[in-house]
Amino acid sequence: MDGSPVETYMVSPSYIGIDLPAGRHRVDAVYVATPSKSPLLVIGLLLLGAAALVRRRLDEPAAWVARMTRGELPADPGADDEMGPRGGPAPTAG
């Protein structure tokens, strides 16, 4: 207040208060994060990214099973191939 630091107190979460005498004053409020908040932000972002990757990995097999049960995929993954089991031509009937 008026260029000198004063004691603050919490009015409610996210609101601070000061004792201010009557009259005209200049009040500057400056927020300074504690040093532990920056690493916590980075860790939180890394965990969020990891969770998104894990979920994507878990969704891929579930989507494949769902397509297979709807009949959109062959039950045998190699059934559509023109190649045989060892890379040679597929056996023909007859």
Cβ–Cβ < 8 Å for 27, 6: no
Give me the domain span that covers residue 55: 30-73
**What mean pLDDT is reported for the chain?**
77
The listed range with the strongest mean pLDDT (8-12, 16-20, 45-49, 65-69) is 45-49
Asked whether residue 41 is assigned to any structural domain, the reply reads yes
* Position 94 pLDDT exceeds 80: no
Asked whether residue 93 is assigned to any structural domain, the reply reads no
- pTM score, two decimals? 0.35
pLDDT of residue 64: 74
Number of domains in the chain: 1
Backbone angles phi, psi at 35, to 5 degrees: -60, -25
Asked whether residue 23 is assigned to any structural domain, the reply reads no
Task: Quote the tokens at residue 12.
Answer: 């409610």
Asked whether residue 67 is assigned to any structural domain, the reply reads yes
Asked whether residue 89 is assigned to any structural domain, the reply reads no
Asked whether residue 22 is assigned to any structural domain, the reply reads no
* Position 66 pLDDT exceeds 70: yes
* Position 23 pLDDT exceeds 60: yes
